[in-house]
Structure 1
Amino acid sequence: MSERLFGIHGAALELRSHRMGLLTSNIANAATPGYKARDIDFASALEARTAGATRDASIETATRYRIPTMPSLDGNTVELANEQMAFAENAVAYSATLTFLNGRVQTITRALKGE
């Protein structure tokens, strides 16, 4: 039912939220030897989700390990500047998706009130 009410935006918000967690984990582990940075291919995850895959399945199939531009000696693949840029980009997209959802909720609320 929520997919009919909120369309693609509900799934997008869930995926963006999960991506935010991955990016935060990458940033937090920037100095951890051997840590492998991960990210979600958002377009693939959203496509899988809209095709009927569960949230977990769509995230699992779209999660990728990052390939660093400059390999580090300790095996850590986090490149802090790239992670911070991806985090900021995702935060803006998350906010935009939340704004779309808020507008949809307000529209439904007005319709229920008969306005």
Structure 2
Amino acid sequence: MAGDSLFGVHGAALAVRSQRMGVLASNIANASTPGFKARDVDFQAALQSMEGGADGGIAAATKYRVPTQTSMDGNTVELSAEQTAFAENAVQYQTTLSFLNGRIGQITRALKGE
């Protein structure tokens, strides 16, 4: 993967977390859509696929959720679980982004000779 020497796994992790945020947001947005099936990204599987250079790694790691209780209209979104997963993923995304920003700052200072 390009850029491994500078950012390691963190660049790929940021991409996976970003994609997962979109999937979780879609689940939340469709909480009242009849028949909607909630999905989630298996972070570890997606990251391993990306590191291995596999095409469609994130798509292959996106699976349907198994709900604890399906609603009468067939919707499998459990809003509180989705909101919790979204919040946790947002914190992890921000942490990864902060690390990358710090790394970029280090590289910039090194290039300037500071």
TM-score bracket, shorter-length normalisation: over 0.9
Larger helix share, 1 or 2: 1
Give 1:107's aligned residue: 106
Structural mapping, 1:1-115, within 5 Å: 1-54=2-55, 57-115=56-114
Deviations along 1:26-74, one digit per CA (max 9) or x if unpaired, are 00000000001110000110011111224xx111110000111012110
Relative to the length of structure 2, the TM-score reads 0.95
The alignment of Structure 1 onto Structure 2 pairs a total of residues equal to: 113
Q: SS at 2:11's partner residue?
A: helix
Q: Which amino acid aligns with 2:18?
A: S
Runs of 4+ with >6 A deviation: none
Relative to the length of structure 1, the TM-score reads 0.94
Unmatched tracts of structure 1, length 5 or more: none
Deviations along 1:56-109, one digit per CA (max 9) or x if unpaired, are x11111000011101211010000000000000000000100011011101110
Unmatched tracts of structure 2, length 5 or more: none
